[in-house]
Structure 1
Amino acid sequence: MTIMTTGRLRQYSLVIAATMLMTLTACEKENESSDNSVTEEEAVEVMAQGVSGESGGLSTQVESTAAVAAATPATCGYSSSDTAFGALNVVRGNITYSYEGSMNRQLVCDGGLPQSFSFNYTGENSYTGPRMSSADNTSAGFVITGLSPLTAQYVFNASYVRNGTQQSKVRLQRSIESKLTITSSNITVDKITKKIVSGTVSVVFNGSVVGKAGSGNASYEGSFTFQGNRTGTLVLKNGASYTIQW
C-alpha cells in the first residue's frame, strides 16, 4: 500500500524565551509530549490499513460481502446465523493478512420484493507489513440495498469497528492500543466486478502508546473517499490530505 501526503499549510507562533534555560525546558517538554502521544503518522497508518484491501480492511470486507449477497437466494425471509468464514495468510503486495469470524445474514422483503440484505459479524483480523503489524477484534454491520436486477450497483450502509494493538516498524517503533471506527451510508459496489466504485466513509481513531507513563488518549478524525481502481483520499479534520493506493 502506498500513502502519499499532499501539501498543507500550518501556522506556528514562536515565543522567544528570556533565557536559554527556559528555551531548553520548553523543548524538553515538547519532545516528551510528542514521545508520549500517538503521532499523526502513526494514526494515519492505522486508519489507512483499516480501509485498505491490501491488509484485509473495510474494502476487503465490503467486496467479500457483495459476493455473498450476489450468491444469496432471493427468497423472502431467508436467514443464516453463526456461519463461520475467514481467510488465512493472504498475501497482497508486501502485506500478509488474515481474518476469521462468525456472521449472521438476513434478506428483508417488502410486498414480496427483496429490499435489503443485512450482514453482521464479529471476529479477528491481523496483518503484517513493512511499516506496521496489527492484531484486532473486529465487528461489522452492513445493510445492502440496490438488490433489484435492474440496478448496476449495490449500496452499502456500513459500520466497521476494530479494537486492537499495533506495532509500528518505523521511526519510534512503538506499540499502540487503538479503536478504529468507520461508518458510511453510500459505498457503491459494482455488481459484476464486486469492486468498490465510490463512496465516502467517516474514520475515527482513538489510541494511546503502550507503556508510556502519562500517555494520553489521542484522537484523529477524517473522511476517506473511494475513487475507484483501489485508490482513495483520506482528509483529516486538520486539513492534512493523504492519497492511498492498494
Structure 2
Amino acid sequence: MKRMSNPLLRSKAALYFLCVAAGISVFAPACKKDDKDSAEPAVSQAEVATAVSSAVTNGGVVAQTEQAAQTASLYIAARKAAKATTDDCGFSDNGEIKFASETNATPYFSIDYTYNYVLKCDANQSFQSFNFTFAGKTSMVTTKMAIADTSAATFSVTGLSDASNSLVFNQAFDNKANLVSKDAAVQSFYSVLKYTATDVTVDKSTLQIVSGTAAVKISGTNAAGKSFSYEGTITYKGNRKAVFTISGGSSFDLTW
C-alpha cells in the first residue's frame, strides 16, 4: 500500500503553525507578594517571567504543541478516509519550518525549527501515540528587549482514538536564551529553562490547550555574572491563557 505523504506538507498546517507562532505573548502580574529580603535578586521574578513567557508562548511550547496536534489530527483523518491504517504503524517523517517577519518590523519575530515524528501502535495495531521531537531557534526583537534562543523538545501524544475528545501530551522542553535589554529599566541576562508537563490536554476540535500543568525550572546569570535560580508551575486555563506561579513567590498571567 502506498503510504500517505506528510500531512504537514500537504496541507495548510505549516501556515497554521506560523500564525500561532507569530503571535506575541504578553504577561502581567496576577498577584504579587511583598519581597521582605533586603538583598536584591540577581534577576527579579518579573524578569524571569519574561523569559518563561518567551520560551513557552513565542514559538515555543504552545506553538509546538498545537502544531503537533494539527499534524497528528490530519494524519489520522487521512488514514481513516483511506480506510486503511494498520500498515502505518511505525511510520515516520521529518521536515523544517521557517518564518520571519519583515526585517524592519516591530516587534520582529523569526523561527527555524526541524521536527520529526513516529507513529506507534498497540498490540492490536491501533494507533497508540505520536512521538514528536522539535529542535531549533527563535528570535524576537521589541522596543525593550531582544531575545534569541535555542530549544529542544520531545512530545508523546496519546488520546488518538475516537473515544477521546482530547489529545494528551507528555512533554519535555529545554530552552536556552539570551535576553538583551534595550531599556535602562530592564537588565540583560542569560537563562536555561527546563519544562516538564504531564497530561496536558488539547481539544481535538479547536487544537488548543485546554488544561494541564507543567513544572518549570529556570536558572542563569545576569550581565554582572551573578547567578539566579527559580522553580515554578504553569497552569493552563484554556482560551489561550495560563498562569506561571513561582514557588514561594508571585504569579504571572501568560497569553498568546
1:39 aligns with 2:44: yes
SS of 1:45's partner is: helix
Q: TM-score, normalised by structure 1?
A: 0.80
Cα deviation per residue 1:152-191 (whole Å; 9 max; x = unaligned)?
1100011111112111344544321111111101211111
**Residues 239, 104 of structure 1: CA spacing in aligned structure 2 closer, same or farther, 3 A cutoff?**
same
Q: Which residue of 1 aligns with 2:157?
A: 144
SS of 2:65's partner is: helix
Measured in 1, the distance between the counterparts of 2:31 and 2:134 equals: 38
Q: Which residue of 1 aligns with 2:134?
A: 121
Measured in 1, the distance between the counterparts of 2:131 and 2:155 equals: 6
Percentage of identical aligned residues: 29
**Residues 171, 44 of structure 1: CA spacing in aligned structure 2 closer, same or farther, 3 A cutoff?**
farther
Q: TM-score, normalised by structure 2?
A: 0.77
**Residues 130, 190 of structure 1: CA spacing in aligned structure 2 closer, same or farther, 3 A cutoff?**
farther
1:44-59 equivalences under 5 Å are: 44-52=49-57, 55-59=58-62
Measured in 1, the distance between the counterparts of 2:244 and 2:166 equals: 23
Measured in 2, the distance between the counterparts of 1:78 and 1:229 equals: 33
**Residues 217, 12 of structure 1: CA spacing in aligned structure 2 closer, same or farther, 3 A cutoff?**
closer
Specify every segment of 5 or more residues in structure 1 that has no aligned partner in the other structure, as ranges: 15-29
Q: Which residue of 2 aligns with 1:184?
A: 197
Q: Which residue of 2 aligns with 1:108?
A: 120
Specify every segment of 5 or more residues in structure 2 that has no aligned partner in the other structure, as ranges: 1-24, 80-84
Aligned length: 219
SS of 1:6's partner is: strand
Amino acid paired to 1:62: T
1:134 aligns with 2:175: no
Measured in 1, the distance between the counterparts of 2:35 and 2:191 equals: 29
1:1-246 equivalences under 5 Å are: 1-10=25-34, 12=36, 30=39, 34=41, 37-52=42-57, 55-72=58-75, 73=79, 74=85, 75-81=88-94, 83-89=95-101, 95-110=107-122, 111-210=124-223, 212=224, 215-246=225-256
The structure that is strand-richer by fraction is: 1
Measured in 2, the distance between the counterparts of 1:118 and 1:174 equals: 38
